[in-house]
Chains A and B, each alone.
Chain A
Amino acid sequence: MLPVGHYRGLSAWTAVFFIFLYLPIVVLIFYSFNANRMVMNWGGFGIDWYIKAFNNADIQKAVWNSLVVATVATGVATAIATIGALVLARGGNFRGKTVSLGLITLPLMVPEIVTAVAVLIFFSAIGMNLGLGNVIIAHITFCIPFAFMPIRARLEGMDTNLEQAARDLYASEWETFRFVTMPLLMPGIVAGAMLSFVISMDDFIITLMVGGAGSTTLPVYIYSMIRRGLTPEINAVSTMLLLASIAIVTAYWILSKKTQNTLNR
């Protein structure tokens, strides 16, 4: 392949592409520091909207709900995904292995609105109404494939001789998992957990459908704020959500860099 510098105009196009992608976000962050009440009229620098957002009881409640849902859903989904990945990668050949693998990853391709409607109908059909519990269960279902993929990738890349060596050195199956498989799998598990946490925090459609009054999460609350009229408060809340996401992704990136060489020698 020729070096990229050979293709004339490529860097200009790349710049246009990135501007298209990130300019709206930059504008959003910029106006979150607007002292004016109007979203698009610059009235000088101020952090009033952040203070206002912090003191808004509804926002506090929504953030709390989001954190509870994301934390519980991530924990449960990651545990299920880990067990599933272990069975599929280490369980040898069994009937329905390919089908299982397909079914676990299928939710990634199913349109979210379909899942949302299906889950909503399911809950009302069996008459289940646990408030936030319903939201958590719905989140677990779509978080599993996101947690599953990095865990399985890590397991597939792991040398099975390591587990045999542990068995050979008098470790029981449990000890082999505890002292060899689990520590080596940890970066995959953490990656899966972070991915499902971000996905859960970010989810809108399913939460909107399933969540009743009192189980409003942050994305749903932001949507309802927009319907009442745009204020820079929305920008401030969105910026904080963005910062949280970036923090998690950065943590994941640093972690995976640090542990990469333990697996690939």
Chain B
Amino acid sequence: MTTAVDIRDVTKIYSPDSSQAVTALENISLTINDNEFFTLLGPSGCGKTTLLRLIAGFEQVSGGEIMLFDKEIENLEPNRRSVNTVFQHYALFPHMTVADNVAFGLERLKKPKAEIKATVERVLTLVKMKELGDRRPNQLSGGQQQRVALARALAPSPKVLLLDEPLSALDLKLRQAMREELKQLQRETGITFVFVTHDQEEALAMSDRIAVMSNGEIQQIGRPTEIYEHPANRFVADFIGDTNFMDGEIVNLSDDLVTCRIGTQSLFETENSGHHKVGDQVTLSLRPEKIMLSVLESNNDANQRPGKVTNLIYLGNQTAYSVDMGDGIQLTAQARPREDGELPFAIGDSIAVSFSTRAMRVLAE
């Protein structure tokens, strides 16, 4: 597998000489593979946009190296790097037509006129904007401007395409449609995409791999399923999706199971990931959709525990239930509506709660 972008020990400090020095990135290292849809995910201020701007060349690194296909680029001017950017607010040139915007990069690269014309037509067709080449950016809707920005960045056939929250300015329906289109565009062109977003749903839906960032550091890098199912720490588990956190203590270890005590006496078993010892204080994470709620029956199944519904939120395709398990344990779980559309449980119902030993995660602190 070829490495497209190699970030080595990159640090970025803003105004390093003043008293207000801000460390935006601290010793970041990561590799992005060729032909990959790679997402930098994190809350605002986590350094994801800074990293993107370092790759594009709009900011200078304070330390470390950035390699683009084995070529050192961190000291090159932005126009000497074969990467192109799709800006958050598109940054289309208002004094040029759509076609001139798309041709801009090709003209600076001194491509022959005929080739420029053909390429402009090809990429505008690719983003379904062929008919609107004569328009000015201010005559286009937000979604159309988005497509032009994509076409303009794709036209010079960059080695890597950088996307800075390109969907954040669109409304919900359009955003969801553009997700699929972006993913398809990446597959068709085979260009490496580096996508910056704070929207975890967007990241899970489109990415081959995700780097979750917080406070200028990388928390975890992995495929969407790895990130969701095996969060490396509490931050990742909390930022990606919804989950129940419980504080506990490890009381027993076997080859493949960890027994944790939560509250004063409740014991839970979960898979042994091999990083813990008896007596460790740990945080456990349990996703709401992994919890099964059922009617409480008298024949006491070992896997089932009793609970009481304290609150519910109707969400249409499902209902979120707050369940009091006793011993100070509160869980949020999900249940689908019954076939007749009615809710399976009501507030105050006593119910049975169950989940598999593989559902609960012991998190590193």
| A118 close to chain B: CB less than 8 A | no
Q: Mark B108-145, 1 if CB is under 8 A from A, else 0.
A: 11000000000000000000000000001110000000
Query: What separation, in Å, do the CA atoms of A102 and B253 have in the docked complex?
Result: 73
B111 to chain A, nearest CB (A): 10
| B268 close to chain A: CB less than 8 A | no
Which residues of A (226-259) have their CB < 8 Å from a CB of B?
A: none
**Interface residue from A168, A183, A265 paired with B137 (Cβ < 8 Å):** A265
**Nearest neighbor of A172 in chain B, beta-carbon distance:** B79
| A208 close to chain B: CB less than 8 A | no
Query: What separation, in Å, do the CA atoms of A171 and B104 have in the docked complex?
Result: 9
| B85 close to chain A: CB less than 8 A | yes
Query: What separation, in Å, do the CA atoms of A262 and B138 have in the docked complex?
Result: 8
A157 to chain B, nearest CB (A): 12
**Interface residue from A161, A170, A262 paired with B95 (Cβ < 8 Å):** A262
Which residues of B (73-108) have their CB < 8 Å from a CB of A?
A: 77-79, 83-85, 87, 89, 91-95, 104-105, 108
| B152 close to chain A: CB less than 8 A | yes
**Nearest neighbor of B78 in chain A, beta-carbon distance:** A167
B209 to chain A, nearest CB (A): 24
B155 to chain A, nearest CB (A): 9
**Nearest neighbor of A183 in chain B, beta-carbon distance:** B95
| A164 close to chain B: CB less than 8 A | yes
Query: What separation, in Å, do the CA atoms of A161 and B78 have in the docked complex?
Result: 13
Q: Does the CB pair A164–B91 fall under 8 Å? A: yes
A187 to chain B, nearest CB (A): 10
Query: What separation, in Å, do the CA atoms of A165 and B77 have in the docked complex?
Result: 13
Known: A161-B87, A261-B138. A169 touches B95 (CB 8 A): no
| B260 close to chain A: CB less than 8 A | no
| Interface size of B in residues (CB-CB distance below 8 Å) | 26
Q: Does the CB pair B79–A165 fall under 8 Å? A: no
Query: What separation, in Å, do the CA atoms of A15 and B228 have in the docked complex?
Result: 72
Greatest chain A CB density within 10 A among B92, B94, B109, B156 is at B94
Q: A166 — which chain B residues lie within 8 A by C-beta?
A: 93, 104
Q: A101 — which chain B residues lie within 8 A by C-beta?
A: none
Q: Does the CB pair A262–B152 fall under 8 Å? A: no
Q: Does the CB pair A168–B84 fall under 8 Å? A: yes
**Interface residue from A172, A179, A184 paired with B94 (Cβ < 8 Å):** A184
**Interface residue from B58, B83, B138 paired with A164 (Cβ < 8 Å):** B58
| B57 close to chain A: CB less than 8 A | yes
Main secondary structure of the interface of A (DSSP, over half): helix
Q: B85 — which chain A residues lie within 8 A by C-beta?
A: 164-165, 168
Which residues of A (143-181) have their CB < 8 Å from a CB of B?
A: 159, 161-162, 164-172, 175, 179-180
Q: Does the CB pair A171–B95 fall under 8 Å? A: no
Greatest chain B CB density within 10 A among A168, A171, A172, A180 is at A168
Known: A168-B78, A168-B84. A265 touches B93 (CB 8 A): no
B116 to chain A, nearest CB (A): 13
**Nearest neighbor of A168 in chain B, beta-carbon distance:** B85
Q: Does the CB pair A164–B78 fall under 8 Å? A: yes
Q: A171 — which chain B residues lie within 8 A by C-beta?
A: 79, 104, 108
| A83 close to chain B: CB less than 8 A | no
Query: What separation, in Å, do the CA atoms of A169 and B83 have in the docked complex?
Result: 9
Q: Does the CB pair B138–A169 fall under 8 Å? A: no
Query: What separation, in Å, do the CA atoms of A169 and B153 have in the docked complex?
Result: 8
**Nearest neighbor of A165 in chain B, beta-carbon distance:** B91
Query: What separation, in Å, do the CA atoms of A183 and B94 have in the docked complex?
Result: 10
Known: A168-B56, A261-B138. A162 touches B77 (CB 8 A): no
**Nearest neighbor of A259 in chain B, beta-carbon distance:** B95
Q: B109 — which chain A residues lie within 8 A by C-beta?
A: 170
B173 to chain A, nearest CB (A): 23
A162 to chain B, nearest CB (A): 5
Greatest chain A CB density within 10 A among B57, B79, B87 is at B79
Q: A10 — which chain B residues lie within 8 A by C-beta?
A: none
B105 to chain A, nearest CB (A): 4
**Nearest neighbor of A170 in chain B, beta-carbon distance:** B108
Query: What separation, in Å, do the CA atoms of A166 and B104 have in the docked complex?
Result: 8
Q: Does the CB pair A170–B156 fall under 8 Å? A: yes
Known: A164-B58, A165-B93, A171-B108. A265 touches B138 (CB 8 A): yes
B180 to chain A, nearest CB (A): 26
Q: Does the CB pair A180–B93 fall under 8 Å? A: yes
B43 to chain A, nearest CB (A): 22
Known: A165-B91, A261-B138. 19 other contacts (CB 8 A): A159-B91, A161-B91, A164-B56, A165-B87, A165-B93, A166-B93, A167-B57, A167-B58, A168-B57, A168-B58, A168-B79, A169-B79, A169-B156, A170-B105, A170-B109, A171-B79, A179-B104, A184-B94, A265-B94
A-B contact pairs, 24 of them (CB 8 A): A159-B91, A161-B89, A161-B91, A162-B93, A164-B87, A164-B91, A166-B104, A167-B57, A167-B77, A168-B83, A168-B84, A169-B108, A169-B153, A170-B79, A170-B105, A170-B108, A172-B77, A175-B108, A180-B93, A184-B94, A184-B95, A262-B94, A262-B138, A263-B94
Chain B residues proximal to chain A, CB less than 8 Å: 56-58, 77-79, 83-85, 87, 89, 91-95, 104-105, 108-109, 136-138, 152-153, 156
Query: Which A-B residue pairs are the 7 nearest by beta carbons?
Result: A169-B105, A161-B91, A170-B108, A167-B78, A165-B91, A265-B138, A170-B79
